[in-house]
Amino acid sequence: MAGGGVAALGVKKERAAEYKGRMTLAVGMACLVAAVGGAIFGYDIGISGGVTSMDPFLKKFFPVVFRKKNDDGQNNYCKYDNQGLSAFTSSLYLAGLVSSLAASPVTRNYGRRASIVCGGLSFLAGATLNAAAVNLVMLILGRILLGVGIGFGNQAVPLYLSEMAPAHLRGALNMMFQLATTLGIFTANMINYGTQHIRPWGWRLSLGLAAAPALLMTVGGLLLPETPNSLIERGRVEEGRRVLERIRGTADVDAEFTDMAEASELANSIEHPFRNILEPRNRPQLVMAVCMPAFQILTGINSILFYAPVLFQSMGFGGSASLYSSVLTGAVLFSSTIISISTFGTDKELTRSYSIAVVVVICLFVLAFGWSWGPLGWTVPSEIFPLETRSAGQSITVAVNLFFTFVIAQAFLSLLCALKFGIFLFFAGWITVMTVFVHVFLPETKGVPIEEMVLLWRKHWFWKKVMPDLPLEDGDSHHK
């Protein structure tokens, strides 16, 4: 461990007012390409629900579900209650959970770009295998490869965006990951709506088109500049300064460069970042790395996005109407994220008026998510960690997100069958809890430079009581 204030803090004082720079074309292009990783994540979220509602797909891989779906006497809420079908969706997220932890040392030791490229290549392989699948083994193996790609991409892309963005624009630019995710969901819904009419191989086209954003992510990762933070952390200091000057559009980067160098000094002294993140001084960030992604999933949003067509059919919508309604919810989520950046019967079809009311209510829910937990569930954890635990912290964030995503994906169809409409009351209770949590425990991070974020927690009424006192600097007469 390095000694003194650097060891305990990372940066010695606040220099945010001295930061210079502007939004440059280099930053804009880098962020656009990197955010494609979000599109890959979103595309898979949207595509799986639509594909699992298509008869040719069910008939080939899940004949039991196919028969239940077309049994008029079967309870609508239970037609899709099948653990094998749930595993088709959830296996990706379990693989992503494991790979996100493996991605941490790659991201730290070889750079953010390396993880982005690894994620893109794995996703290409998974999409190809899914499109060509002739049995359930090939299908699940393809999903696992997709999960590995998502684990690497979700670990590296939010970090990349946070480190490339100027401090005053970091929040908006980091939300591009969520914007790309929602665009991927909307695109998947549109493709599913079109490919349902291509029988019997439309589902192959839906799954195979996932290769398009994966190709963009891979090529983009090869062409992107590495972040200055990563270069400095890996000892390439002069190159890091040159990249910083280029992406800020000015040679006057002394203040920001000094913060990065001080943070790097501490980062390089940490041999075991996962062990270090458990120390009391990192406790606020660790709590947020666990709670923010967990709460994001416990809003219930993935239940709608994964199984939108299935859910609408369970509530009495016809087959085409269910896919059309999922397109609408995807469009609402995409639109609301743009705004955020700038600012039941059991065996019968619903009547037209009830159908409209259900879609409107769900759209309001999706709109609220896109305005709040959608972008911020990723943005906040990606920007709060000091450099020495940043890769480890992001891995924890992604792992927690994917763990809860896996649990919800695997359990939702069974819960829907058991609880029926009560499943939404379950999610409503969690939304109440998370709203109180954020109000009480999360300080405002807007405009705070990423390397000085650690100072923010010592000003918070609760976290300053949890964190240990800092050692005095030479010549100081009080704690900073």
Q: What is the pLDDT of residues 365-413, one digit of tens each?
A: 777 787 788 778 878 888 888 877 888 888 899 889 889 989 988 888 8
Helices (H), strands (E): how many in the chain? Answer: 23, 0
Q: Is the pLDDT of residue 349 over 60?
A: no
Q: Return the closest-CA partner of residue 340 out of 428, 446, 438.
A: 446
Do the Cβ atoms of 450 and 264 come closer than 8 Å? no
Rounded Cα distance, 54 and 66, in Å: 9
Give me 450's structure tokens: 């990423």
Query: What is the band of 311 on the pLDDT scale with cuts at 50, 70, 90?
Result: low
**Percentage of residues in the chain having pLDDT higher than 90:** 24
For the chain, give the number of residues: 480
Q: Where do runs of H (alpha helix) occur along 235-316?
A: 237-248, 254-269, 273-276, 283-298, 301-314
Both tokens assigned to 300: 């219930």
pLDDT at 362 over 80: no
Give pLDDT, residue 476: 47
Given a cut of 80, is residue 309 above it in pLDDT?
no
Token pair of 255 as six digits: 């203040």
Identify the three-state secondary structure at position 351.
coil
Query: What's the mean pLDDT in 418-439?
Result: 86
Output the CA torsion 159→342→193→200 (10° steps): -20
Average pLDDT of the segment spanning 429-450: 87
In the block, which residue shows the tokens 């029926």? 420
pLDDT at 246: 93
The confidence score (pLDDT) of residue 358 equals 66
Handedness of CA 253, 256, 258, 263 (dihedral sign): negative
* Higher pLDDT among residues 415 and 319, named by residue: 415
Query: Who wins on pLDDT, 267 or 283?
Result: 283
Exposure class string for 129-157: b at 16+ Cβ within 10 A, else e = bbbebeeeeebbbbbbbbbbbbbbbbbbb
Q: State mean pLDDT over 299-322.
A: 59
Residue 115's pLDDT band (cuts 50, 70, 90): very high
Q: What average pLDDT does this structure show over 264-284?
A: 82
Report d(CA 423, CA 407) in Å as an integer.
14
CA atoms within 13 A on the CB side of 444: 2
- Over range 45-63, report the average pLDDT: 86
Domain limits, the chain: 26-466
pLDDT exceeds 80 at position 149: yes
pLDDT grade, residue 110 (50/70/90)?
very high
- CB contact burial 314-328 (16+ within 10 A = b; e otherwise): bbbbeeebbbbbbbb
C-alpha distances in angstroms, 446 versus 166, 175, 343, 463? 12, 13, 13, 18
The answer to whether the pTM exceeds 0.95 is no
Q: Is the pLDDT score of 323 beyond 50? A: no
Res 125: pLDDT? 96
Class of domain 26-466: mainly alpha
CA atoms within 13 A on the CB side of 150: 34
Residue 480 pLDDT class (50, 70, 90 cuts): very low
Q: What is the structure's pLDDT at 1?
A: 32
The pLDDT, as a whole number, for residue 118 is 94
pLDDT surpasses 80 at 133: yes
C-alpha span between 412 and 427 (Å, rounded): 11
- The first and second tokens of residue 439, run together, are 């109000």
**Taking a C-beta distance cutoff of 8 angstroms, is the pair 315, 350 a contact?**
yes
Please tell me which residue, 49 or 19, carries the higher pLDDT value. 19
pLDDT in tens, 100-109: 888 888 988 8
Q: Who wins on pLDDT, 357 or 402?
A: 402
| 275 or 141, higher pLDDT | 141
User: In the prediction, which pLDDT does 479 show?
Assistant: 41
The answer to whether 374 touches 332, Cβ cutoff 8 Å, is no
pLDDT at 205: 94
Stretch among 151-155, 320-324, 465-469 having the lowest mean pLDDT = 320-324
312 pLDDT tier (thresholds 50, 70, 90): low
Residue appearing with tokens 């594909």: 51
Please state which of the ranges 26-30, 256-260, 325-329 shows the lowest mean pLDDT: 325-329
| Confidence at residue 103, expressed as pLDDT on a 0 to 100 scale | 87
**Is the pLDDT score of 159 beyond 50?**
yes
